[in-house]
Amino acid sequence: MHNKGIYPLIIGLFCVLTGCRSQTILQSTSQEQAFQQRYVGKTFYTAMVLRPYEFTDAYLIDLTGTIAGAPVQTPRSSLTIPLGTPIEVTALANEHVIARIGEYSLPFRILVLTKLGTLDTLSEELSLLLAESAPLQSARLPMRPFITRQEVTPGMSRREVFMSWGQPDKIISSPGASGFLEEWTYFDRQIRLYLSNGFITNWQQY
């Protein structure tokens, strides 16, 4: 059961964290035209497993980490969209990129963090989600069998974890003696992954 009343609060929080504007996320008409030429109407593939959130008349994909890091837990939808599913970008709308994925009837709103308002910074974010060719080929060869089986293993990179399990529900980051440490929690799996400098070192069931 989902608490519909929580979504306006969450969107308000997004606006504080990401600087939402009433216009599109790109800073000029020329940038928007370049976006249209590069993305709109073209078919890509999902570059990771997607576990979207429900959002009124659409599904919400968060590329910013603000939902996972928010103090209020936001439930995900029941959908799990496999790696390599066809995805078509259709428009820009305020702080979202709008897309159609596979055969799903509802659109998908992609929340991005882009603050510079340039196509280059937006494209960098979208590269986490969009692949022009079969995305499994971009994974390191030893990791491909794990990704195919939707498993994780020590030494797997952040991107490879996304390809296998999708984005986590919660991320805690901190500096450590040997580099940057992260704890990723997947609520449905009841597992915490531990990463050092962007690679899995261990995990724990809870």
What average pLDDT does range 47-71 have in this prediction? 88
pLDDT digits (tens, 9 = 90+) for 102-116: 999 999 999 998 877
pLDDT digits (tens, 9 = 90+) for 23-35: 578 988 999 999 9
The H-or-E segment that residue 30 falls in is helix 29-38
Please name each of the domains of the chain with its CATH number.
Answer: 6-135 (no CATH), 139-205 (3.30.1450)
What is the pLDDT, as a whole number, of residue 30?
93
Bridge partners of residue 190, in order along the sequence:
none
More confident residue, 149 or 27: 149
Site of tokens 């603050």: 115
> What distance separates the 2 farthest-apart alpha carbons in the chain?
50
**Phi/psi of residue 126, nearest 5 degrees:** -70, -20
What is the pLDDT, as a whole number, of residue 20?
46
Bridging pattern class, strands 53-55 and 130-131: unpaired
pLDDT at 48 over 60: yes
* Inter-residue contact 13 to 68 (CB < 8 Å): no
pLDDT digits (tens, 9 = 90+) for 87-137: 999 999 878 999 999 999 999 999 998 877 899 999 999 999 999 999 999
Percent of the chain whose predicted confidence (pLDDT) is above 70: 89
Reading phi first (left if > 0) and then psi (alpha if -120 to 50, else beta), residue 15 is in alpha
What is the pLDDT, as a whole number, of residue 23?
59
Q: What is the pTM of this model?
A: 0.82
